[in-house]
Structure 1
């Protein structure tokens, strides 16, 4: 692997990632880059784990989704384990690798057999995490056994670490935008109540808060209802 070229590509990807306008497009940029930057990688995707339910994101090939579904059904596999490893694990527990699915008989025998039937030869899973949270796993697949070298694993690690920071930034930006939109909606709803019922700012907010508590509805949804209907029934 030409690490100079790899470093240049990573720098270019860093600039592109910062320009993405959503978490989804960020993930798509990450997985498409993985197939281009990591030697031996034929397909890539991000797996999120909700309990034992799997969510597949930004898959570059249908094989990725099929593999995720197989791991969900069996509750085993390198990507499944990477996603649930947790950032408190040691570094050796944050990457899972199958060099040859036909020879994997110890860790994930049922999954390895099914992966072979799908046409997969080798794979790696990297936990996506920062100090504060885990996002899931970046998973790389190859159709040929033995496709991933130590250099491939190192490159995958670098990409996964970079991707985790990028996803964290994208999610924080999305959360900030949602918070600002919610604040605007609540302010607009308070203005409607103040004008229609001659209430003070505090009284209008208390009306929204009480309705939210009594109806067990989120405050932002109550505010949206007021904005759409001009008041509360």
Structure 2
């Protein structure tokens, strides 16, 4: 890569960072990362993010990326492949030619049949509840140059940061919802039984313990039966 090419790449990466820093949904950010991989990394013909849940549920972003979705589906079906390996174990998984790949005896031939001959996957640091990988695919063999892994790592970091931010936001939203429901239930109990705030909470806590039910569920039951 020449000096001018490096300058151009740096400028494009900076622009990507600015665009992804704005108020965007998780799907928009991950779709933007995938689009950036197609633009910035030579040899990439398809790209997408694989997210794997605890119950082996999975999804692909962008959702309309049919080829990437099918490649992810095959890996989950066979329980093998570079995307799954990167999501669950290795940091970077590279395949220069699926025709000679022996690590995944079922998945590699399926890729060749589809017309995909090379792959490059990057682990996303997400959380203990979700595993993820940024996955790049090429129709030609031996397409990955030195900058491919460097750029891919940066893009994967953007994707992982977006996922973690989304998860933190969901956790905060759930915590606020729980607090509001418990507060609402306490208010109902205080009015109904003429007790103070501390006594109302103790009544909720006692019912929760005796019924082996989460406190927020007891609170919701109080709310649902207030009439």
TM-score (norm 1): 0.81
Q: 2:122 aligns with which of 122, 126, 137?
A: 126
- 2:148 aligned with 1:152, yes or no? yes
Q: CA deviation at 1:125?
A: 0.9
Task: Answer yes or no: is the 8 Å Cα contact 1:48–1:56 preserved in 2.
Answer: yes
The aligned residue for residue 164 of structure 2 is 168
* Secondary structure of the corresponding residue to residue 183 of structure 2: helix
The aligned residue for residue 90 of structure 1 is none
Q: Mark the CA change 1:192 to 1:99 in structure 2 (over 3 Å): closer, same or farther.
A: same
Q: CA deviation at 1:133?
A: 8.6
Task: Answer yes or no: is the 8 Å Cα contact 2:123–2:133 preserved in 1.
Answer: yes
| Unaligned segments of structure 2, at least 5 residues | none
Q: Distance in 2 between matches of 1:217 and 1:118?
A: 50
- 2:96 aligned with 1:99, yes or no? yes
Alignment of 1:84-233 (within 5 A): 84-85=88-89, 93-104=90-101, 106-129=102-125, 135-230=131-226
* Secondary structure of the corresponding residue to residue 29 of structure 1: helix
The aligned residue for residue 78 of structure 1 is 82
* Secondary structure of the corresponding residue to residue 53 of structure 1: coil
The aligned residue for residue 19 of structure 1 is 22
* Secondary structure of the corresponding residue to residue 136 of structure 1: strand
Q: In the TM superposition, what whole-angstrom CA distance separates every residue of 1:47-78 from its partner, at most 9, and x where no partner exists?
A: 23346825123135211121112111221111
* Secondary structure of the corresponding residue to residue 202 of structure 1: helix
Q: Distance in 2 between matches of 1:140 and 1:112?
A: 15
Q: Distance in 2 between matches of 1:212 and 1:17?
A: 43
Q: Distance in 2 between matches of 1:9 and 1:190?
A: 54
Q: CA deviation at 1:201?
A: 1.3
Farther off after superposition, 55-64 or 218-227: 218-227
* Secondary structure of the corresponding residue to residue 141 of structure 2: coil
Q: CA deviation at 1:82?
A: 0.7
CA RMSD of aligned residues (A): 2.7
* Secondary structure of the corresponding residue to residue 41 of structure 1: coil
Farther off after superposition, 168-177 or 110-119: 168-177
Q: CA deviation at 1:215?
A: 4.3
Q: Distance in 2 between matches of 1:22 and 1:224?
A: 29
Number of aligned pairs?
Answer: 223
Q: CA deviation at 1:21?
A: 4.6
- 2:58 aligned with 1:41, yes or no? no
